Chain A
Amino acid sequence: MNRGDFRERLKNYTEEPLDSDWSKMAQLLDINEKKKRRRPFFWKILAGAMLIGALVGGALFFTFKSSPVILPEAEVQESTIIADETEVQEETKINSVTSNIVPKEKITKELSNRDAQTSETKSKIQDKKIKNASTKKAQPNATLAIEAPMNATTIFNSPREVKNNKEQNPVGDSASQMKSSVPLVAFSDEDDKGVKSKNNKDAILGLTNLTSLPLNTIEFQNQRAEEELSLQFSQKPEVKIYKTTSNYLALGLTASFPNVGLGDSREPFLIPNQSLIPNLGIEVGAGRKWSSGMSLELGARTSYFQYRLSNLLSARSPAGGFAEADLFDVNDNREAARINRHMIISPYLRIAYDWDILKSSFIGLFAAVGPNFVFDLPSTNVEGLGNLELDTNVANPTESITAFDITKSETSYECEFGITLGQKVLQRSKVTFNFSYGLTMGNLLSGTVFLEQNNESLDSDIYQVSANGPRFKMRYIF
């Protein structure tokens, strides 16, 4: 009896599906859609975080690129000369660099020989101008004081005269050009304001015990003041660098090792094969460091980890059918084999304290707190399903058990404590190595593995991945 070519008959074999067939398929589609739905949200978050990070990082970089070394300011803040009607004048000189008030004995001595010194001092000042030319270049504020024309000093007996003078010489008045270094306004005692100014100044500066000295020309006094300033700078061209508060930007590479554990400790059928999962990432932070060595930093870390569940876990039979068996991917050895991929975004607030050791090295302690947001990346399994199976061939070839899992990512909160070893490099940059340990509240991932035999559920068990574990970081701070 020949029924035709069996090949064709097998190829054209048809069979109507049952309703239950579609319902199973629909369940698989639902699970897959659930996984899919989370992905657009993740990409939006990632894109947003990268954009904000780039903007903040760029802004901080350009803002804090040049700052913290502050040189002592060589600027005369104030100098007041007041003449009374008996032509007795007190002179107060305040130098912001030395913060010294010129002693009254010195002033007295200088002024008592004023007639003899007037011509001599003028030439001396001219000599100083030439002699200190190089020093003045390095001391711009001092240069301003000495370069102002000496013969432009004017005596005013009242504020009204000052006003009139300004009106007459609005531009090019050399006295007003020198106002930033040596104010050249003097008030006679007849003027109430002048008296008040004098008294107030004396009270503030504690100069009430200074001896009042007569002075014929205010011009001379101003010249003396400028000479004194020039001498001070030329004799001690010292530049001091002070430790100050500074802002910084930090970029780092991180390696951490999330921990694998089992949720059901009573009668688990899952056995962890691997307790740690390598997790690599980068972090960007911006912070402020105080001269005391303490620093506060705000930043974010992005890290990535992947694993095969079949490598992570083994199983033992819930019914005693086999002692221990491997879980393995349905699509093992294929490109389509399943690998779970996840990304963690962790904003953090970090406080640290550093101590200098040796010449350019330092050691420190730090602590950081922040949440961990975990996102699922597209997995390589084309089905998008739990597709594990139990390899029970060795123990009992006749027993066929299927396993599948549902893994979901979670948000957790963590504290991190560690030590820093650092080295200053280039001019202001530092390279640091951080060794730390993370403690978390909650898990990064939580998964449930179900066992089925002949489409009937046998058992289920939970596995968890938490961020507890050691960490290593290398950071570049600039």
Chain B
Amino acid sequence: MEIHELNDILADCVRQDRRSQEKLYNYTYQKLIGTAMRYAGSREDAKWVFNLAMMKVYKNIEKFKIGTNFLGWANDILIKTSIDNIRKNTRHQRIMAPVDSSFVEGNKVTLNEALNSLATEKIMEMVQRLGEKERMVFSLYVIDGFKHKEIAEMTGINMNTCKWLLGKAKKELKEMIGVLNEIRLSK
């Protein structure tokens, strides 16, 4: 979609034109559903969260400055909505990091290489299998590039706990990759 075409659609969305809203939905869905899937536990959850985020987009579209990066703006809304959703799901789960979290570091290269060798859909599937908070911290830190301090502020989780959750997520991913390799070898 060309930029001028997107800008026209956005202008029409401000006037709440339903056809333009549909076009914007389809365009945004295509580009950002991956983000929703990384944070959600399933495809259905991802779609639900994406729709919630799109409601916020439509409601606040007047505040968006047309001509700037729409996908970046919508992506921020989607991430925040996903975090809200995860916080809700884990409301009663108090997660405390163990005192010794030294295993967080290490095996970085091995895991990245292993993930790079996998198909995107497979990686997405494995990420979705992670626990809610592990998945959230992994996506925020590894894929979206936030710092631990920023993640702590965004999610309300203690910074050390964030580091521990990240290490746990990597460990689980490694285990999954190991199981996957074993299955491959057995075939």
Contact = CB atoms under 8 A, between A and B. Distances in A.
Given A1-B117, A21-B29, A11 B88 contact: no
A4 B119 CA distance: 10
Nearest to A383: B55
B88 A16 contact: no
A389 to B, nearest CB: 7
A7 B143 CA distance: 5
Given A25-B25, A332-B88, A12 B34 contact: yes
B108 interface: no
Contacts, number: 113
Interface stretch (B46-54, B62-70, B94-102, B162-170): B46-54
Given A16-B30, A330-B88, A4 B56 contact: no
Interface in B108-123: 112-113, 115-120, 123
13 contacts: A1-B117, A10-B124, A13-B33, A15-B33, A16-B29, A17-B26, A21-B29, A21-B51, A22-B26, A26-B22, A28-B55, A332-B88, A382-B59
A11 B143 contact: yes
Given A32-B55, A385-B55, A391 B91 contact: yes
B171 interface: no
Given A9-B123, A13-B34, A28 B51 contact: yes
A13 B124 contact: yes
A2 B51 contact: no
Interface in B1-60: 16, 18, 21-22, 25-26, 29-31, 33-35, 37-38, 44, 47, 51-52, 54-56, 58-59
A383 B120 CA distance: 31
A29 B21 contact: yes
Given A7-B142, A15-B34, A391 B92 contact: yes
A455 B45 CA distance: 11
Contact of A11 (B22, B26, B34): B34
A160 to B, nearest CB: 90
Of listed B16, B18, B84, B85, residue having the most chain A CB within 10 A:
B84
Interface of B: 16, 18, 21-22, 25-26, 29-31, 33-35, 37-38, 44, 47, 51-52, 54-56, 58-59, 84-85, 87-88, 91-93, 112-113, 115-120, 123-124, 127, 142-143, 156
B91 A3 contact: no
Interface secondary structure of B, over-half rule: helix
Nearest to A455: B44
Nearest to B43: A15
A164 B116 CA distance: 128
B88 A331 contact: yes
A25 B34 contact: no
Given A15-B30, A332-B91, A3 B117 contact: yes
B79 to A, nearest CB: 12
Give the interface centre of A17, A28, A336 by most chain B CB atoms within 10 Å.
Answer: A17
Contacts of A391: 91-92
A151 interface: no
Contacts of A329: 88
B111 to A, nearest CB: 10
Given A13-B37, A333-B91, 18 more contacts: A2-B117, A3-B118, A3-B119, A5-B116, A6-B120, A9-B123, A10-B34, A10-B124, A14-B30, A21-B47, A22-B22, A25-B54, A26-B22, A333-B156, A384-B55, A384-B59, A389-B88, A391-B92
A24 interface: yes
Contacts of B115: 6
Interface in A346-395: 382-385, 387, 389, 391, 393-394
A328 interface: yes
Interface of A: 1-7, 9-17, 21-22, 24-26, 28-29, 32-33, 328-334, 336, 382-385, 387, 389, 391, 393-394, 454-455
The 5 closest A-B pairs by CB, nearest first: A13-B34, A17-B29, A6-B115, A9-B120, A383-B55
Contacts of A17: 25-26, 29-30, 33
Contacts of A9: 120, 123
| Residue with the highest number of chain B CB atoms closer than 10 Å, among A1, A9, A336 | A9
A329 B16 CA distance: 27
B31 to A, nearest CB: 6
Nearest to B54: A25
A13 B111 CA distance: 20
A413 to B, nearest CB: 36
Contact of A4 (B34, B85, B116): B116
Contacts of B142: 7
A398 to B, nearest CB: 13
Contacts of A454: 44
Contacts of A10: 34, 38, 120, 123-124, 127, 143
Given A4-B116, A10-B34, A331 B51 contact: no
Contacts of B91: 328, 332-333, 391
Nearest to B28: A17
Contacts of A334: 84, 87
Nearest to B42: A400
Contacts of B47: 21, 24
Contacts of A11: 34-35, 143
B88 A328 contact: yes
Interface centre among B25, B31, B88, by most chain A C-beta atoms within 10 angstroms, is B88
